[in-house]
Structure formats: structure tokens, C-alpha cells
Amino acid sequence: MVRDIINKSSDGTALTKEEIASLFRVPLFSEESAMVIAASRKKSEAAGRGLAEVHAQVGLNIAPCPKNCAFCAFAARNKVFREKVEISVDEAVQKAQQFETDGANAVFVMSTADYPFEKFADVSQEIRKSLRPETILVANVGDFSKEQAKKLKDTGFSGVYHAVRLGEGRDTTIPVETRLQTFRNAGEAGLLLGTCVEPVGNEHSIEELVEKTIITRDAKPVYSGSARRIPIPDTILAEHGIVSEAKMAHILAVVRLALGYDIPGNCTHEPNVIGAAAGANLLWAEAGSNPRDTDAETEGKRGMTVKDCIRVLEEAEWKVLKGPSKFYGA
Ligand code: SF4
């Protein structure tokens, strides 16, 4: 039965909820699990034309965020950061230029949900001006309106990263519908969407993994994939521990098989070889603030450099794209 589901996915036919659940239920390290991973890798190679990408994110600020997502270091209730800290425009520009020089295929600009939108657009404009015109810029911000989506497009962003989180509305204060409306606002403004099934914890049910996988498929993104939750010390969710990279490799492989060839990218975070070998063809480097790090500057801590990410992909036998991201349509 698992073989039939895999064949159906490889043929390009959309899987049903039950079929996706069956793939998630396959025991790790079984022969069937090896088949899932092999088929995922093959599908990623075909969908991404044999190339992997490294995107790189500049975090603009640290602030106790009132949205209070339980898994995030910025959440006010997690009490990791009590002060607001913002990097200067010059620092943001310098970090973005460094990413471009290092060969990132796209540069992401991230802020917490309560960072003023106009300020985000202004800083991003300076970043845009400092980069080569062909360098792809992607926004990772809180939910935004139709008008704000248009402003992001006018600022020079090609796309956005946005997700309906596992536990959305339960571990966060944000309704799922708000996230979905942001997807639509982005699409209407011509911004391409990157998304992901994240942040995966040991407590998540197969049903929730399936539900969120289908949400990413229905959103028609340029990539989906799966990433695990990094425990923030002394928080409730940290009691569930951390999902192993081996299990994440299986989960991201199932997400790959659940999505069609029209979606070229399959991401995972944080970068690791087993995940990339199992079909993840998109990894992230990070600088500045990072919602999974308890250090204010993630470089040299949790955040990996572009070169680190390229090395991980090469260890997983990927050829890495040189030049602007093809996932975001260059
Ligand atoms: S994930 Fe975003 S919205 Fe949620 S607490 Fe962190 S910064 Fe705020």
C-alpha cells in the first residue's frame, strides 16, 4: 500500500488526506521509510531541476512580542528578551550585502510582528538599493493587509515567507484565518509565497501534520517543507523535547510527496545533512535576531552562514544554484 501511494505521488497525482497520513505513520528506519525518502529525493530533484538553494535572513529587531507564540524566543511570555533592540539601517545593509557576496540565492528581511510596518518598508528599501538589482528579496513579517502587501511589492520584494503554524490559535494568539488572509493578500499583490510545516514538536499528532501539510499545498507556494521546533529553555513547550533530525527527514519527505511537481522547493530548518539528503533543497543562513536563539546576534550561535549551508547541501550530494533564486521565479 505504501508503495502504491508513493507511485501515485511520483506520477504527479495529488494524495488524499488518508494517504498522507499513511506515509506519516510509516515507522522510521523501515524499508518503507527508505522508499519514502528515496522517492522524496527524486521528486525534489525533478521539481527543482536538480538544484538546491540557500536563502539568508537578516533579523532586524528583538522585542518582547505581544503575539506570544509559545515556541518563539521573542514571545513576551517567554521572558527571553525584555528590552527592544533594533539593528541600524547600516548594519542591516551590511549583513544583506555580506549574504549577497557569500552567494545566497535570496535575501530575507525579518522582523517581529509588532515592528512598525512603515519602518520595515523603509529599512528594506535601503537594503534593496544596496543590493544588485537581480538579487531576490523576500519579506518575513507578521500578518499584513492588501495595501501593505502592495507596499512590500513596491519596495522591491519578490515574495514573502508566511506559515500557518502547528498549534496556530492554540500555541499562538493568531487565528488560522488571519494567516490564510495574509496568503491571499500576498498573492493578490503578486508576491510569491514560501511556506513550511513548522515548528514540529514531539507532541503533534499525525492529523495535525496532515492538516498543515494540506494547507501548505492549497496555498500554492513556491516551496514548502518541514522544520522542527527548537526548545526555548524554561518554557512549557520545551518539556516535549526536540524532534530528531532522523524523524524530521521522514516528515519533510512526506511533505515533499504530498506536494506536486509545480512546487519546486522543499525546505528544512535548521540545516542538516540527513534532511537535505531526504529531499530538502532549500536551507537558510541567518544573521541578526533569530526567533529560535536566546542570543541577540545569531551569527556564530544558532545561525549558520551561507557557506555552512552550501557545505551541508554538498554533503547531501546537491548541486547548489549560483545566482538569483529560481524558486522565487528569477
Ligand atoms: S513568532 Fe512572530 S508573532 Fe509569534 S511571538 Fe514570535 S515574533 Fe511574535
- Answer yes or no: is pLDDT of 241 > 80: yes
Distance separating alpha carbons of residues 183 and 192, to the nearest angstrom: 9
Distance (angstroms) between ligand 1 centre and the Cα of 230 equals 14
Distance separating alpha carbons of residues 290 and 292, to the nearest angstrom: 5
| Residue identifier of the C-alpha nearest atom 4 of ligand 1 | 69
Distance separating alpha carbons of residues 139 and 111, to the nearest angstrom: 9
> What's the distance, Cα to Cα, between the start and end of the chain in Å?
39
The pLDDT > 70 percentage for the chain reads 100
| Cell 499562538, located at residue | 172
Distance (angstroms) between ligand 1 centre and the Cα of 112 equals 6
Cα 190 to chain centroid distance, Å, stands at 19
Phi and psi at 113, nearest 5°, equal -65, -25
Best CA proximity match to 166, nearest among 228, 89, 259 = 228
Structure confidence by residue, pLDDT tens digits, 290-327: 788 787 778 878 889 999 999 999 999 999 999 999 99
Pocket mutation for ligand 1, best pick of 61, 62, 69 (most atoms within 8 Å of C-beta)? 69
Residues with CB under 6 A from ligand 1: 65, 67-69, 72, 74-75, 112-113, 142, 172, 291
Structure confidence by residue, pLDDT tens digits, 196-239: 999 999 999 999 999 999 999 999 999 999 999 999 999 999 99
Distance (angstroms) between ligand 1 centre and the Cα of 4 equals 40
For residue 110, give the DSSP letter.
E
Distance (angstroms) between ligand 1 centre and the Cα of 64 equals 9
Which residue segments constitute the domains of the chain, with CATH numbers given?
A: 2-320 (3.20.20.70)
Residues in the chain, how many? Answer: 330
Task: Say how many C-beta atoms besides its own lie within 10 A of residue 257's C-beta.
Answer: 26
Distance (angstroms) between ligand 1 centre and the Cα of 172 equals 8
Phi and psi at 60, nearest 5°, equal -80, -25
pTM to 2 decimal places: 0.96
CA distances from 319 to 52, 91, 135, 255 (A): 6, 31, 20, 22
Best CA proximity match to 237, nearest among 55, 27, 68, 53 = 68
